[in-house]
C-alpha cells in the first residue's frame, strides 16, 4: 500500500488485506469514459456500499429507538443517507484528495462534487465489507454516524432538537437558550466537540459530537429529556391590583 493510501486507512480506522479493493473504490467512472478503456470503476462497489449502509443504519435505528414507528424511522434513515450528508462524511475523511479522476473531471472541480464524495464514501464502505465482512463495515458506519444519532429522538415529533428546545423554553420565557463550545479534542480528522446549552444563566445540559452542530443538537436533546422528565413550574401570572 502506498503512503497516501496508508494515511487514508488511518482515517478509515481500517487496514485493507486487499489494497486493490480500496484503489477500486477510489476510481471514479470518469477515468473509464475519458480514456475509452474497459477500466473497472467504483460503481459496483458504490451499489454494494449503499445496500450495506442501509442495512446497518436500519438495524441501528431499530434497536436504538424502540418507540419509533416505521414512518419516523424511515424519515430518520433518509436524512442520514442523503447525498449531502454522505458527501460531508466523505469530505471529513478527505476522500476528494485520494479519489482517482480523469483530467477533465479534475479541471472542473470534480474532486469536491457532492456526487463524487457521496458515491466514493459508499464505494469505500462496500470495499470494507468485501475485504473484512459485516463487523468492520458496521464499526466504520457507527463511528462515522455516532454524532448524527444525537439528532434522532425517541419522540417522533422531535426532528429538530434545538428548535424544539427553543419552543419549549419560550413558552415560559422570552429568553432564548444559548450554546457555547466547551472543548474540542482529538486530531483534525477525528475531532470531538463538546457544547453546553444554558438558559437564564443556568446550564441545562451538555452534548458531544464530531461537529459543533452535532454537539449542540445532542446538548439540546439531552436538555429536552431532562426538562420533560422534570418540567419546571409554569410561569407565574402577573398579579393585577384590584
For residue 197, give the CATH number of its domain: 3.30.160.20
90 and 207 share a domain? Answer: no
Tell me whether residue 201 is in a domain: yes
Tell me whether residue 96 is in a domain: yes
Question: What pLDDT does residue 95 have?
Answer: 93
95 and 181 share a domain? Answer: no
184 and 74 share a domain? Answer: no
Tell me whether residue 156 is in a domain: no
Tell me whether residue 130 is in a domain: yes
Chosen domain end from 145, 173, 193: 145
> Catalytic: which of 50, 105, 144, 218?
50
Question: Partners of 207 in the beta sheet?
Answer: 195
Question: What pLDDT does residue 241 have?
Answer: 45
Question: What pLDDT does residue 35 have?
Answer: 60
Annotated active-site residue 139? The verdict is no
171 and 141 share a domain? Answer: no
Q: What angle do CA 202, 207, 212 make, to 5 degrees?
A: 105
Question: What pLDDT does residue 50 have?
Answer: 97
Give the distance between the most distant pair of CA atoms in the chain: 91
Annotated active-site residue 50? The verdict is yes
Q: What is the pTM of this model?
A: 0.64
> Catalytic: which of 60, 105, 122, 216?
122
Question: What pLDDT does residue 237 have?
Answer: 47
C-alpha cell at 127: 470495499
Residue 117 has a CB neighbour count (10 Å cut-off) of: 26
Tell me whether residue 12 is in a domain: yes
Residue range of the domain that includes 137: 3-145
- Using CA atoms, how far apart are residues 148 and 209, in angstroms rounded to an integer? 8
Task: Provide the number of structural domains found in the chain.
Answer: 2
Tell me whether residue 151 is in a domain: no
- Using CA atoms, how far apart are residues 147 and 217, in angstroms rounded to an integer? 9
Question: What pLDDT does residue 114 have?
Answer: 92
Which residues, given as ranges, of the chain have pLDDT below 50?
1-2, 155-157, 237-242
Q: Which of 80, 75, 226, 230 is nearest to 165 (CA)?
A: 226
Tell me whether residue 80 is in a domain: yes
Residue reference for cell 474540542: 184
Amino acid at each position: 500500500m502506498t503512503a497516501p493510501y496508508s494515511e487514508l486507512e488511518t482515517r478509515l480506522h481500517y487496514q485493507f488485506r486487499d489494497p486493490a479493493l480500496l484503489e477500486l473504490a477510489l476510481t471514479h467512472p470518469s477515468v473509464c469514459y475519458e480514456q475509452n478503456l474497459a477500466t473497472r470503476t467504483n460503481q459496483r462497489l458504490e451499489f454494494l456500499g449503499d445496500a450495506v449502509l442501509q442495512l446497518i443504519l436500519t438495524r441501528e435505528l431499530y434497536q436504538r429507538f424502540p418507540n419509533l414507528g416505521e414512518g419516523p424511522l424511515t424519515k430518520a434513515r433518509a436524512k442520514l443517507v442523503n447525498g449531502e450528508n454522505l458527501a460531508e462524511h466523505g469530505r471529513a475523511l478527505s476522500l476528494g484528495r485520494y479519489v482517482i479522476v480523469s483530467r477533465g473531471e479534475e479541471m472542473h472541480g470534480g474532486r469536491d462534487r457532492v456526487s463524487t464524495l457521496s458515491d466514493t464514501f459508499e464505494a469505500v464502505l462496500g470495499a470494507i465489507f468485501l475485504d473484512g465482512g459485516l463487523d468492520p463495515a458496521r464499526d466504520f458506519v457507527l463511528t462515522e454516524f455516532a454524532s448524527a444519532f444525537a439528532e434522532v429522538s425517541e419522540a417522533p415529533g422531535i426532528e429538530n432538537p434545538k428548535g424544539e428546545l427553543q419552543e419549549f423554553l419560550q413558552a415560559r420565557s422570552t429568553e432564548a437558550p444559548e450554546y457555547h463550545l466547551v472543548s474540542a479534542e482529538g486530531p483534525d480528522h477525528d475531532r470531538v466537540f463538546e457544547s453546553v446549552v444554558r438558559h437564564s444563566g443556568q446550564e441545562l445540559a451538555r452534548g458531544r459530537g464530531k461537529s459543533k452542530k452535532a454537539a449542540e443538537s445532542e446538548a439540546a436533546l439531552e436538555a429536552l429529556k431532562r426538562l420533560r422528565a422534570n418540567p419546571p413550574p409554569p410561569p407565574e401570572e402577573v398579579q393585577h391590583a384590584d
